[in-house]
Amino acid sequence: MKDRSILTFNVFFIAYLAAVLCAALFMKTALWGLSMWGFLSPTAGIILAGFLLVFLGGRPADAISATPGDGGRAKRFRPTALLAGSALIFWILRVRHDLWGGDYLLTGTDAAAGGAAPVAAVLHALAFRFFNAVLIWDDARTSAALGIVSGIVFIAVSLSLVNRLIGRDDRPTALRTVSLAVLLSGGYMAVFFCYGGHVPVAVAAASLFMLMALLFLEGRTTLTAAAIVLVPAVFTHFSNLYLVPAFVYLVIRTLRSGRGRSDAVRASLVFAALWVIGELALPAIPGFAGPVGFIARLFGAAGPGISALEPQNAGGTLKDGINCLLLFGPPSAAAVMLLVSRLAARRERRAMGTVLSVLAAGALIPVIVCAGLLDGGLRWDLFASAGPALALYTVWAVRDRAAEGKRRLRIMLLIAVLGIFHTLPWILLNTSSGTAEKRLLLLPLGPGRAEMILGNRAFELNDHGAASGWLSKAVRKDSLNDEAYFMLGEILMERDEYIDAIFSYKSARDLEPENTTYRLSFAEACIKKQWFDEAIEELERLAHEHPRNVLYWNRLGFAFNHGGYYAEAIVAYETALRLAPDNIQNLRNVTSAVLNRAARLQSEGKTGEAVRLYRKATAIFPRSWRAYNGLATIEMDAGNFEKARNILETALGINPHIAELHFTMGRALEKLGMDEEALRHLRRAIALYPELPGVQEYVKRIRDRLNATDGE
Residues 306 and 299: beta-carbon distance below 8 Å: yes
Cβ partners under 8 Å of residue 356, min gap 6: 389, 392, 393, 396, 397
Q: Which residues contact 339 (CB under 8 A, 6 or more apart)?
A: 357, 360, 361, 364, 393
pLDDT value of residue 210: 95
pLDDT of residue 292: 75
Length of the chain equals 712
Question: pLDDT value at position 97?
Answer: 38
Task: Please tell me the least confidently modeled range out of 212-216, 407-411, 648-652.
Answer: 407-411
pLDDT number for residue 591:
92
Given CA atoms 485, 486, 487, 489 in this order, what sign does their dihedral have?
positive
User: What are all long-range contacts of 522-526, with beta carbons under 8 Å and residues at least 24 apart?
Assistant: 522/489, 523/555, 523/559, 524/493, 524/555, 525/489, 525/493, 525/498, 525/501, 526/502, 526/559
In this prediction, residue 269 has a pLDDT band, given cuts at 50, 70 and 90, of very high
Q: Which sign, positive or negative, has the C-alpha torsion 186, 187, 190, 191?
A: negative
Please say if the pLDDT value at position 58 is more than 50: yes
| Nearest-angstrom CA–CA distance, 589 and 657 | 22
Give the burial string for 26-46 (b: 16+ CB within 10 Å, else e).
eebebbbbbbbbbbbbbeebe
Q: Do 79 and 172 meet the contact criterion of CB atoms below 8 Å apart?
A: no
Name the phi and psi angles at 401, rounded to 5.
-100, -15
Contact between residue 207 and residue 162 where contact means Cβ atoms under 8 Å apart: no
Q: What confidence category does residue 572 fall into, taking pLDDT thresholds of 50, 70 and 90?
A: very high
Question: What local confidence, expressed as pLDDT, does residue 601 receive?
Answer: 93
**Percent of the residues in the chain that have a pLDDT greater than 90, as a whole number:** 37
Q: Rounded to an integer, what distance in angstroms lies between the CA atom of residue 269 and that of residue 275?
A: 10
pLDDT of residue 474: 92
DSSP letter for 584, please. H
Rounded average pLDDT over 456-465:
83
Which of 226, 205, 228, 239 has its CA nearest to residue 115? 239
Question: What would the mean pLDDT of 431-454 be, rounded to a whole number?
Answer: 78
How high is the pLDDT of residue 168?
53
Alpha-carbon span 282 to 287, nearest angstrom? 9
Q: Which of 22-31, 555-564, 620-629 has the highest mean pLDDT?
A: 555-564
Chain segment 474-507, per-residue pLDDT in tens: 999 999 999 999 999 999 999 999 999 999 999 9
**What is the structure's pLDDT at 193?**
58
Does residue 585 register a pLDDT over 70?
yes
pLDDT at residue number 349: 55
Highest mean pLDDT among 27-31, 191-195, 244-248, 463-467: 244-248
Mean pLDDT for 389-397 is 90
The Cα 213–Cα 246 span in angstroms is: 8
The Cα 607–Cα 623 span in angstroms is 22
| 50 CA to centre of own chain | 41
Q: Is pLDDT at 381 greater than 80 in this prediction? A: no
- Give the percent of the chain with pLDDT over 70: 80
Given this model, what pLDDT does residue 315 score?
A: 54
Angle at 470 between CA 467 and CA 474, to 5 degrees: 130
Say what the pLDDT of residue 81 is. Answer: 61
pLDDT tens readout for residues 643-698: 999 999 999 999 999 999 999 999 999 999 898 999 999 999 999 998 888 888 88
Between the CA of residue 590 and those of 197, 229, 371, 533, 647, what are the distances in Å? 42, 54, 52, 20, 22
Q: Dump pLDDT digits (tens) for 301-313.
A: 444 444 444 444 5
Q: 382 and 199 in contact (C-beta within 8 Å)?
A: yes
- Strands (DSSP E) contained in 67-124 are none
Cα angle: 319, vertex 325, 331; to 5 degrees: 145
Amino acid letter for position 533: D
Per residue in 59-113, pLDDT (tens digit) is 676 666 655 554 455 455 555 665 666 556 555 544 433 333 334 333 333 434 5
The pLDDT tens digits for 134-172 are 888 777 778 777 887 888 888 888 888 988 888 654 445
Q: Are 418 and 17 in contact (CB under 8 A)?
A: yes
692-701: per-residue pLDDT in tens?
Answer: 888 888 888 8
pLDDT of residue 434: 75
Per residue in 314-342, pLDDT (tens digit) is 555 677 777 777 778 888 888 888 887 64
User: Which among 455, 493, 490, 501 has a CA at the least distance from the CA of 474?
Assistant: 455
| Contacts with 705 (C-beta within 8 Å, 6 or more apart), sequence order | 675
Residue 297 or residue 510, greater confidence: 510
The pLDDT of residue 111: 38
Instruction: Please answer whether residues 266 and 313 qualify as being in contact, where contact means their C-beta atoms are separated by less than 8 angstroms.
Output: no
Residue 526 has pLDDT above 90, yes or no: yes
272-283 mean pLDDT: 88
How far apart CA 310 and CA 326 sit, in angstroms, is 23
**pLDDT above 50 for 117:** yes
Mean residue pLDDT across the chain: 81
The Cα–Cα gap between 233 and 150 comes to: 13
| Alpha carbon distance 46, 564 (integer Å) | 73
Diameter over CA atoms, the chain:
131
Q: What's the pLDDT score for residue 508?
A: 95
* 576 pLDDT higher than 90: yes
| pLDDT at residue 261 in the model | 87
